[in-house]
Amino acid sequence: MEVDKGKGEAEETRKVAEADRDTVTLKSSDGKLFEVSKEAAARLSTVLAGMIAGGSIDDNGTDLKQIGSEALENVVDYCNKHANSIPSAALISSSISFNTAPFKEPEEWERKFVDRLSHDALFDLVEAANFLGMERLLDVTCHKISEMMKGKSPDQIREVFNIKNDYTKEELEEIRQELAWAFYDD
């Protein structure tokens, strides 16, 4: 904004600039600001799409009090990567959507994106995706967690997710007998 312009004119310029901006600014619960592609945010998050359409986006940072800065950084990173990536045919063609299962498989870059996250960051991202109505990101993160569980014994899963076994030996045996059909091999 130019300093030598009259206040009214500057305000006018600012308004025009706002309308033309192709990013929105989001503010985490701990007050950090992040810029995200407006197009990608509106496309990937039903909540952000609603805020953008309803004009409730704050240029100085839209408050997202439920999301910490680490999770929000990942959300923003994911949106911006999505904005830049070349979508696969499956994403472009809406007519194919019915053919695939309701939960689509993640793309290669999406796998890499969640693979580098720590456990805590991954779970925080699931919550953030849930809160922002980001179906695709929810699918990608849930797919990752399901891969951490696939084909594992209860002992292995307890170890992966830090779950305390509070059963007695007898109780566990009872469960295995009740549900013997699912405990085929261990």
Binding site for other proteins (CB under 8 A): 94-95, 98, 101-103, 119-120, 123, 126-127, 130, 138-139, 142-143, 145-146, 149-155, 157-158, 161-169, 172, 175-176, 179, 181-184
Nearer to other proteins, 56 or 177 (CB): 177
Instruction: Classify the phi-psi angles of 130: left when phi > 0, otherwise alpha if psi is within -120 to 50, otherwise beta.
Output: alpha
Nearer to other proteins, 54 or 184 (CB): 184
**117-126 burial, b if ≥16 CB within 10 A, otherwise e?**
beeebbebbb
Query: Which one-letter DSSP state was computed for residue 33?
Result: E
Least separation in angstroms between residue 127's CB and other proteins is: 7
Nearer to other proteins, 17 or 183 (CB): 183
Chain centre distance of CA 91: 17
Least separation in angstroms between residue 177's CB and other proteins is: 11
Strand partners, 26: 34, 62
